[in-house]
A and B are shown apart, each in its own frame.
Chain A
Amino acid sequence: MKLHRLAAIAIKEVLQIVRDARSVGIVVAMPVAMMLVFGYGISLDVKHMPVYVFDREGSQQSQDLLKHFQASEYFDVKKAVNNYPALVRALDNGICRLAIVVPHDFSLKLNAGRQVSIQALIDATDSNTANIAIAYSQAVIQAYSQRVQVDWIRRHGQKEIKPPISVEARTWFNEGLESMPNIVPGVVVIVMAVIGVFLTALTIAREWERGTMEQLISTPVTELELMLGKLAPYFVIGMLDTCLCAGFGILWFGVPFRGSWNVFFISSALFLIVVLSLGYFFSVVAKSQLAASQISLFATFLPAFLLSGFLFPIDQMPVAIQAVTYFVPARYYMEIIRNSFLKGSPITILLNELLALAFLSCLLVFVATRIFKKKLT
């Protein structure tokens, strides 16, 4: 391997990138655009959920209960209706996602010391939102129920009773329990996966499509030099984009960074090598820009989005799919990046993930060089 030949290839590649205005645009605009779209667009928080109420009793007590729903920032009581069909219509049309029905004998039953059920009709088409809405409604009802009981007991001449237990929850790493600090570091991973695909798959396949690859092959450059020379500029660009994304996440979205920058950079470098080698591999196999980009998008973007634990927790997947995720490099990178941003655990805890990434990057670089050699002969 000669360094000057490698450098020659790299310089050629850099010139090719710099002189194509659109690829410069991709390099800078894409990470920022994706950060914005994902950062603002994906939110699993449920706030201001539109709620209709149907108070069949209309007593002071029933109104008091409904006020508790109104007071919660999670619910937005849009309208009080006075018949059941109106509720059904609102749910059917998607105008409200939750409907609370207070029975006609609400205060009557409570004052008689009996149980009474509040109906919560939930539009469960959006399953996650429904689950969260149920949990919030449950909390509102439970708190109200407890208050009613305390009042009751006091009125019956007992000394005041305190609630037996209280849950003192401390949320670590993301005090507000918001999804933004959870999503934004994950977006860094997605952006890296996509950038790697676009950069390598397109520009290397172009060489094949235009026939200039044969020219390159006829020069004394070796396969390894060619590959390294081609990937080096994109590696640098990828690292710059990683910094861009991380900086954007920290400064714009205000996500904390608690871990070590060394771990961050090492893992980013390893992940980039993985993605670039994959893109290279596909562009060698497919030999057409269109096919290369489609295959790599399918093979890197989708797994990074779905199988990395970005939104969907891996430990909740069926066992067979969990097994598949071990082959998804983004899974390890996701773990490291989330940890680096939010948890800041010591490196020893991330060792397995780092080793897995290192192993995968070596494997893929090796495979990429092998496949290219075969095509030459």
Chain B
Amino acid sequence: MLGRLRHMLIKEFLQVLRDKRTRFVLIFPPMIQMLIFGYAANLEIKHVPTAVVDYDNTQASRDLISRFAASRYFDVRRLSADQRQIPLLIDRGDATLAIQINAGFARLLGKGETAPIQVIVDASSSNTALIGLGYINEVAGNFAQDFQGSRLQRVAPLILSGIPRVLLDRRPWYNVDISDRWFFIPGVIGNLIMVIVVNLTAFAVVREREIGTLEQIMVTPIRRVEFILGKTVPFFLIGLFDAILVSAFGTLWFGVPLRGSIGVLALGTILFLMCVLAIGLFISTVSRTQQQAMVTAFFFIMPAIIFSGFGSPISSMPEALQWLTYLNPLRYFQEVLRSVYLKGSGLDALWQEMAAMALLSIIMLTISVLRFQKSLD
């Protein structure tokens, strides 16, 4: 048994590694994806192009504007007092925010009334708009606070000596700089392993079937278990290799910290690999040609990535879909990756995810192997 299995494994490895194209696919696309994600995947908003129209042109209004200009969140462009330019600027995308201070701003402030600031937000990019608006409120809030302070200083200095104020003491944990890179890079590892292993496994069997070599193998004394092991173990190892490659890349190149134990990460990776091997095998049983395998794999992988919490939080999805994500092994692996990398979590925090992946892998492997055996008949 071991002898036959060994030959099968050697054959599979040779087949994968002798093909220049496959060798290429195993190394370069993962690296390039890491690079693009590391540098381009950025939801952080700085230097929002902002148009300012100041109809008041007093010291108070200029003070407020200079606060916006001083913030690194805004790229302030002063306009020569004409609000009609605003729609054009926003249409062209030259400005995402527009702040307009109407005449009488300083007068209202002086009278102790509430002075409005008009803000126009181009919300066609909702995230930028949301974050930009948050910054505006913050700057305006600080201005209001300081103004209130100096006003009270004048009218009632005694009160000011003790005015209550509630502040927010923000403490971002695990990712102190709130870096998008730290968020995306561990996630990319999960996606890459899934894409590579599902595709390799699915194609390996379908190619034999398409070329006709599957029949040749079936007439050898090889047993089904050995055949299935021969078709999965190499990709398991290759998946592991790619996992090490991209994690090393993420840590060494992008400096994403690996705070947890490598053992926990390895356990999660192995469980996840079992799941994706099962998916790959399953796809090979429903596809006759490589083309079909490719399309089917795409249909599995794309939703799996989107509904894994990779790019956007699961808690923001419709509830019915949130339930569906429990069937998605990538969901658990993403949680494991990010927790181990950034939080340094151990098994005590991640045992549920591990158990879920173990359970899923057993169920999916059973289904796939049964179906696979049937398809060999």
Residues of A close to B171: CB separation below 8 A: 119-122
Is there an interface contact between A171 and B178, defined as CB atoms closer than 8 Å?
no
B112 in the interface (beta carbon within 8 A): yes
Interface string of B146-190 (1 = CB under 8 A from A): 011001100110010111111111111111101110110000000
Is there an interface contact between B167 and A312, defined as CB atoms closer than 8 Å?
no
Quick one: given A117-B167, A118-B168, A126-B313, are A312 and B141 in contact (CB under 8 Å)? no
Residues of B close to A41: CB separation below 8 A: 303, 306-307, 312, 317, 321
Residues of B close to A339: CB separation below 8 A: 124
Residues of A close to B312: CB separation below 8 A: 41-44
B92 in the interface (beta carbon within 8 A): yes
Question: Which of the residues B25, B109, B164, B175 comes within 8 Å of A164, measured between beta carbons?
Answer: B109
CB of B198, distance to nearest CB on chain A (Å)? 13
CB of A176, distance to nearest CB on chain B (Å)? 8
Residues of A close to B291: CB separation below 8 A: 202, 206, 289, 293
B138 in the interface (beta carbon within 8 A): yes
Residues of A close to B31: CB separation below 8 A: none
Is there an interface contact between B306 and A122, defined as CB atoms closer than 8 Å?
no
A178 to B169 Cα, complex, angstroms: 28
Is there an interface contact between A124 and B172, defined as CB atoms closer than 8 Å?
yes
A56 to B345 Cα, complex, angstroms: 27
Interface centre among A41, A92, A167, A302 (most CB of B within 10 A): A41
Quick one: given A49-B315, A132-B134, are A149 and B123 in contact (CB under 8 Å)? no
Is there an interface contact between A46 and B313, defined as CB atoms closer than 8 Å?
yes
Is there an interface contact between A313 and B125, defined as CB atoms closer than 8 Å?
yes
CB of A316, distance to nearest CB on chain B (Å)? 5
Is there an interface contact between A123 and B173, defined as CB atoms closer than 8 Å?
yes
Is there an interface contact between A115 and B178, defined as CB atoms closer than 8 Å?
no
Is there an interface contact between A166 and B121, defined as CB atoms closer than 8 Å?
no
Residues of A close to B152: CB separation below 8 A: 153
Question: Which of the residues A115, A125, A149, A289 comes within 8 Å of B167, measured between beta carbons?
Answer: A115
Is there an interface contact between A137 and B121, defined as CB atoms closer than 8 Å?
no
Interface string of B131-151 (1 = CB under 8 A from A): 101111110110110011001
A179 to B128 Cα, complex, angstroms: 10
Binding stretch for chain A, among B36-44, B226-234, B235-243, B266-274:
B36-44
Which residues 128-164 of A sit at the B interface, judged by CB distance below 8 A? Answer: 128-132, 134-139, 141-142, 144-146, 148-149, 152-153, 156, 158, 161-164
Is there an interface contact between B115 and A135, defined as CB atoms closer than 8 Å?
no
Is there an interface contact between A124 and B175, defined as CB atoms closer than 8 Å?
yes
Residues of A close to B356: CB separation below 8 A: none
CB of A142, distance to nearest CB on chain B (Å)? 5
Binding stretch for chain A, among B8-16, B275-283, B294-302, B362-370:
B294-302
Residues of B close to A291: CB separation below 8 A: 21
Binding stretch for chain B, among A2-10, A11-19, A106-114, A267-275:
A106-114
A37 in the interface (beta carbon within 8 A): yes
Question: Which of the residues A116, A206, A293 comes within 8 Å of B166, measured between beta carbons?
Answer: A116
Question: Which of the residues A124, A134, A307 comes within 8 Å of B40, measured between beta carbons?
Answer: A307
Cβ-closest chain A residue relative to B44: A316
Question: Which of the residues A152, A171, A307 comes within 8 Å of B36, measured between beta carbons?
Answer: A307
Binding stretch for chain B, among A216-224, A237-245, A341-349, A363-371:
A341-349
B221 in the interface (beta carbon within 8 A): no
A262 in the interface (beta carbon within 8 A): no
Is there an interface contact between B92 and A349, defined as CB atoms closer than 8 Å?
yes
Residues of A close to B21: CB separation below 8 A: 291
Cβ-closest chain A residue relative to B21: A291
Which residues of A pack against B, CB within 8 Å? 22, 26, 30, 33-34, 37-38, 40-50, 65, 91-94, 109-132, 134-139, 141-142, 144-146, 148-149, 152-153, 156, 158, 161-175, 177-179, 181-182, 194, 198, 202, 206, 289-291, 293-294, 297-298, 302, 306-307, 311-313, 315-318, 320-321, 335, 338-339, 342-343, 345-346, 349
Task: Give the top 8 A-B pairs by smallest Cβ distance, nearest first.
Answer: A113-B162, A135-B134, A124-B172, A41-B306, A174-B123, A124-B175, A145-B166, A117-B169
- 24 A-B pairs with C-beta separation under 8 A: A37-B302, A43-B316, A44-B312, A92-B349, A113-B159, A113-B161, A115-B165, A118-B167, A125-B175, A127-B44, A131-B131, A131-B178, A135-B135, A138-B137, A139-B134, A142-B168, A162-B113, A166-B114, A177-B121, A178-B126, A194-B298, A293-B291, A315-B49, A349-B92
Q: A92-B339, A145-B165, A293-B291 are known; give 13 further A-B pairs, CB within 8 A.
A: A43-B313, A92-B345, A113-B159, A125-B342, A127-B182, A141-B167, A145-B164, A163-B114, A164-B147, A165-B114, A173-B122, A175-B123, A318-B39
